[in-house]
């Protein structure tokens, strides 16, 4: 396994872990967004630009979900 593959595996594993735990804390939703950014970087670095674009979109969606959960907790 080369370094790029290990990086991608780590990004996807972090996404899975954060997604599974996101009901526990908004921090996991933010972690999911960050892991999606890493997945996007992996996709572009590997040359799979459609994967990179979709992961970037998921990062934006997750960041918005995190912001909404934080606002929800304040009220």
Q: Quote the CA–CA distance of 18 and 58 in Å, as a whole number.
A: 13
For residue 28, the model assigns a pLDDT of 97
Residue linked to tokens 């606002």: 71
What is the SS3 assignment for 46? helix
Q: In this predicted model, what pLDDT tens digit does every residue of 21-64 receive, in sequence order?
A: 999 999 999 999 999 999 999 999 999 999 999 999 999 999 99
Residue 75 has pLDDT above 80, yes or no: no
54 exposed, middle or buried (CB, 10 Å; 0-12, 13-18, 19+)? middle
Mean pLDDT of 1-19: 97
Q: What pTM did the predictor assign?
A: 0.93
Half-sphere exposure of 63 (CA within 13 A, CB side): 10
């Amino acid at each position: 396994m080369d370094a790029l593959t290990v990086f991608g595996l780590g990004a996807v594993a972090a996404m899975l872990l954060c997604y599974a735990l996101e009901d526990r804390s908004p921090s996991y939703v933010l972690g999911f967004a960050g892991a999606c950014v890493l997945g996007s970087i992996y996709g572009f670095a590997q040359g799979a630009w459609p994967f990179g674009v979709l992961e970037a979109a998921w990062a934006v969606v997750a960041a918005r979900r995190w912001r909404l959960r934080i606002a929800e907790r304040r009220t």
